[in-house]
Amino acid sequence: MGQVDTTQYMPSSPPRRRRRVRVALLLLAAMFGVWFGRFAWLRITLEPTPRPHHYEALILALDPAPDDPAIAEQAMDLLSFPPWVWDEAPTDFFSGVDVSTRPAVAAIVPNRHLDITTVLQGPWDANRPDMAAATAIFSWDEFEKARRTMGELAMTGWRERLDLSTGLLPSIGAYRTWSRWLVAHSRWVRETRGDPAIAVEDWLIALRLARQLHRLQLLLPQMVASGMERDVASEMRLAVIEGIGEVDTAALFRDVDAILAPLEPPSQVLEGERLWLHHCLESAFVREGGDWLAVGTAAESAYWGVGSPPTDSQVCRLWNLTSPLFHNLATARANVDAYIASLNVCTDIAICQQTVRLDSGKVLPPPGALDGFIRLASGYGCPLVDYNISALKFAYMVRCELDAAVTMLALEEYCRDAGCYPESLDQLVPHDMHRLPVDYGDRQTLRYLLDGHRCILYSVGLNGVDDGGVDTGRRPEDFDDNENLDILFSGPRREGLTE
């Protein structure tokens, strides 16, 4: 018989198997090296490609104003070079203005600087330097022309210049300055001319300027606008206490309501902020390469909030290799949307106060870094969750002060006609007011009491509890203190001048 070849049935030798394993491992290592090389190359070389113009258009479309470039340019000119700084404007800027007629404020006020806020402090004294300087400017024909022009422009509104790539609103401070000058002018016309109608015009122009900022529905412009509204509310209230002539309060209240945007729901108030945060996300996510977080860019953004952008040595793109630890852009956007929507629980001052005081990580958890969300520090050094809630609380406070101020005017009109104050606020509707005023402390009607010949109008304050209108001597502007008692609108007088 022939001999059988058994080698074909013998297993491979150990050296041969090891060679095959090594080859397989080398192939896997080579494949991983190629993949990781491409991965690392993309993470190090690709950068975010934000779309600022896209989000600018979305924000401006939230509450559109007439898109008339001529009106917008004229408004920006007045905001940039108001009559009290015309001597600083370019020589050909006001070619039709006889600047030689400008009041010599420098001869009245030291350092050629007039802090118009001091005109709102202390009793009126025409011989006081700041009030004499204000009188000189307010009596200038060019000031009155600029004031009337701004009133006409504010009546129609204009499309804002929004540039997310360099800054939100370069003229934002000019709005507040104009508001203060208008409020100061309202006091001047009351004190020197006894003309409440002009004072009401000033208040409405200031509120319409605040409305311009509200159109953006962004956090910082909203807070500046609320500050402007507080200036108006405070002067309205003081005008009642110090004595003001006859005012059509029903028309004034309707105008105020027509000008100001509603404060509900809170997520709608901050819709522009949601879009701005989406823009911030796109500024730190690489969309073309798989929607991954550019960790180095995100680290850089952490410095923006404190106003100190890092140098190139502070941020290393090798951090981008950790991007798989983070969520993608879609998840980050969803987390931001959920966060803004969660603010809808903050419907009044008391709830805002309770929410801020509780552990924000449990009540309204803001998306963190691992959720692909960049927690930009606020300019006030507080967490973003507290910053948004504080902005809402401030808006509620100011709107409460405005409702109270108009109500005080209506109470005086009722007393002038009837010879006494009403038994309840219901008697003011509809002749003196078209609706009852809202106490944004708890979303009920403002509290009202009669104490002999004196009426007391108050809010329940931060804690949302009616303490009976006890007078603590605090001004309505001290709404946000820590005493948590009621806020009286009908008692405090004008604050004295601070030396």
Instruction: List pLDDT tens digits, range 132-189.
Output: 888 888 888 888 999 999 999 999 999 888 888 776 566 788 899 899 999 999 999 9
Domain boundary pick from 195, 228, 260: 260
Residue where the block lists tokens 């402090």: 121
pLDDT of 306 > 50? The answer is: no
pLDDT of 480 > 70? The answer is: no
Does residue 189 lie in a domain region?
yes
Does residue 399 lie in a domain region?
no
Same domain, 133 and 223: yes
- Cα separation, 352 vs 359, in Å, equals 13
Phi, psi of 4 (to 5 degrees): -85, 135
- Cα separation, 216 vs 168, in Å, equals 10
Q: Is the pTM of this model over 0.85?
A: no
48-94 pLDDT per residue, tens? 888 999 999 999 898 888 888 899 889 988 888 787 765 543 334 34
Provide the pLDDT for residue 114. Answer: 67
Q: What residue type is 484 in one-letter code?
A: N
pLDDT of 311 > 50? The answer is: no
pLDDT of 26 > 50? The answer is: yes
Within 10 Å of residue 151's Cβ, how many Cβ atoms? 17
pLDDT of 482 > 60? The answer is: no
Most confident of 195-204, 269-278, 472-481: 195-204
Does residue 497 lie in a domain region?
no
Q: How many residues does the chain have?
A: 499
Provide the pLDDT for residue 425. Answer: 95
Answer with the residue of higher pLDDT: 398 or 81.
398
Same domain, 437 and 297: no
Same domain, 325 and 414: no
Q: What is the DSSP letter of 163?
A: B
Six-digit token string for 186: 């309202």
Q: How many helices (H) and strands (E) does the chain have?
A: 16, 7
408 close to 492: Cβ distance less than 8 angstroms: no
Same domain, 75 and 188: yes
Same domain, 292 and 387: yes
Same domain, 317 and 252: no
The helix (run of H) or strand (run of E) holding residue 191 is helix 172-193
Share of the chain above pLDDT 70, in %: 76
pLDDT of 485 > 90? The answer is: no
Distances (CA, A) of 372 to 274, 353, 470: 15, 28, 49
Same domain, 249 and 307: no
Same domain, 275 and 217: no
Domain span holding position 316: 271-391
Domain count, the chain: 3
Ranking 117-126, 199-208, 280-289, 410-419 by mean pLDDT, the lowest is 280-289
470 close to 486: Cβ distance less than 8 angstroms: yes
Does residue 347 lie in a domain region?
yes
Most confident of 293-302, 378-387, 388-397, 465-474: 388-397
178 close to 209: Cβ distance less than 8 angstroms: yes
Same domain, 236 and 201: yes
pLDDT of 101 > 60? The answer is: no
Task: Answer left, alpha or beta for residue 301, where phi above 0 means left and psi between -120 and 50 means alpha.
Answer: alpha
- Cα separation, 277 vs 271, in Å, equals 10
Same domain, 199 and 92: yes
pLDDT mean over 198-224 = 92
Domain boundary pick from 240, 260, 280: 260
Same domain, 353 and 415: no
